[in-house]
Amino acid sequence: MRHHDQAAVLFALLAAAVPAQTFVVDANNGPGTNFTTIGAAIAAVPDGAVLRVRAGHYVESSLVIRGKSLAILGDGGVDIEVPALPHPTIELLGPQQSVVLRRLAFRSATPGLTVELRCQLNQGQVRLDSIHGANGTAPLTLVSLRCDWLLVEDCEFGPDPVEITDSRSVFERCMLQGYPVGCVQVGGSAQWVDSTVRGGLWNGQPGSGFYVQATDVRLLGNTVVEGALAPATGTRGVCFRGGGTLRLEPSVTLIGALPWIPQTVQAVNAPMPRVTTGDAALGGAVAAALHGPIGHLGILAVGLPGPAIAVPGAADPTFWQSAPLSLQAIGVPTATQPLASATALPNDPAFLGLQLVWHGVSWAAGTGLQISNPSAYAAHLP
């Protein structure tokens, strides 16, 4: 395994990135505040801006991002109260536009009502990072319709099902628990990395982890799919209902009534490349790793995010711009040693919101070329 010089890598990527204007949102109107509500900031700032949202309770009348690139980065402790309608929405992004939401907590102005975060009709990237219900208990769900690239990391949704329709999505380190089903996926494709999807009880009956229809599902790493347990009877729901294609690694855990996978779902169980990234603030270093397949030749690389590009001979696309791309490691992963890299970040707030995407590529005789999941990062302050 080889490790490559990170300075040249970062220089090339940063040279291609354009620093964005940053605006401060503070409900308490502290020093340096540009806006006191997030909705007002969304409406006023230019395309490509970064909103740094300070801790506080935000009462919003509307949160709709329409056809505008934005990075909304919470400092932590950001509690957003929204009305029943309109739903918080990201929509109509063009191919070169993107939206990042990070470290935001949602609650409904109507107690007990589920907040429905909507992503719809987007050609550009939507990235949700560390999004959850306020206080960890407020109900929150996600609905995606015809999104070309939806990347969801370290998020929690429930108790209503997550609904993904005709979208290309990636979930990494997420927790979903819905009733009667954890996730409804119709059309499109989804990759699930180190995530948990659980069904819930409906009128005392155990629900399934997934309901799928005419879709491709890829389960990687330590992902868990679990049918609900009915305490009164001790019975469980199934892991999957519906029909489609399923690819899963041997490390994936399925818990539920047999058969875990119905005959209407065409399943293949085989090792696949999986990439993970850590988190770091500006001035730190982002760790990335390609885990397997063990014994296959592997390459770990980083680039700027771009649209899905089909790779000849591979089942999955990459999500990179064509250039610049930087090779970070090449070798053969083992059970105890993945291919790894650490990318240093400048300690400069001008790069707040900078996005990077890692992919792994593997090859072995008989298996051929495989592309990993994308794993992304958006630069933020401590």
pLDDT in tens, 215-232: 999 999 999 999 999 998
Assess whether 71 and 110 both reside in one domain. yes
What is the extent of the structural domain holding 79? 37-157
Query: Read out DSSP for 64-80?
Result: EEES--EEEEE-S-EEE
Rounded to an integer, what distance in angstroms lies between the CA atom of residue 125 and that of residue 123? 7
Within 10 Å of residue 76's Cβ, how many Cβ atoms?
Answer: 13
Q: In this structure, is residue 24 part of a structural domain?
A: no
What stretches of the chain show up as alpha helix (H) in DSSP?
A: 6-16, 38-44
Please state the domain count of the chain: 3
The domain boundary residue, chosen from 213, 245, 270: 270
H or E stretch including 15? Answer: helix 6-16
> Helices (H), strands (E): how many in the chain?
2, 35
Strands 355-364 and 70-74: unpaired
CA 99, 212, 319, 347 torsion: positive or negative? positive
Is pLDDT of 6 > 70?
no
* Residue given tokens 């009877």 in the structure block: 233
Is pLDDT of 373 > 60?
yes
**Residues in the chain, overall count:** 382
Is pLDDT of 335 > 50?
yes
The domain boundary residue, chosen from 157, 188, 204: 157
Assess whether 262 and 192 both reside in one domain. yes
Q: In this structure, is residue 374 part of a structural domain?
A: yes
Q: Are 140 and 156 in contact (CB under 8 A)?
A: yes
pLDDT at position 3 is 43
Q: In this structure, is residue 266 part of a structural domain?
A: yes
pLDDT at position 12 is 59
User: Confidence class of residue 17 from pLDDT cuts 50, 70 and 90?
Assistant: low
Assess whether 123 and 138 both reside in one domain. yes
Q: Are 197 and 182 in contact (CB under 8 A)?
A: yes
Assess whether 77 and 142 both reside in one domain. yes
Assess whether 153 and 164 both reside in one domain. no
User: Confidence class of residue 11 from pLDDT cuts 50, 70 and 90?
Assistant: low
The domain boundary residue, chosen from 215, 247, 270: 270
Give the mean pLDDT of 342-367.
Answer: 93
Q: In this structure, is residue 219 part of a structural domain?
A: yes
pLDDT at position 10 is 58
pLDDT at position 360 is 98
Query: Read out DSSP for 330-350?
Result: EE---SS--EEEEEE--S-GG
Higher pLDDT, 311 or 16: 311
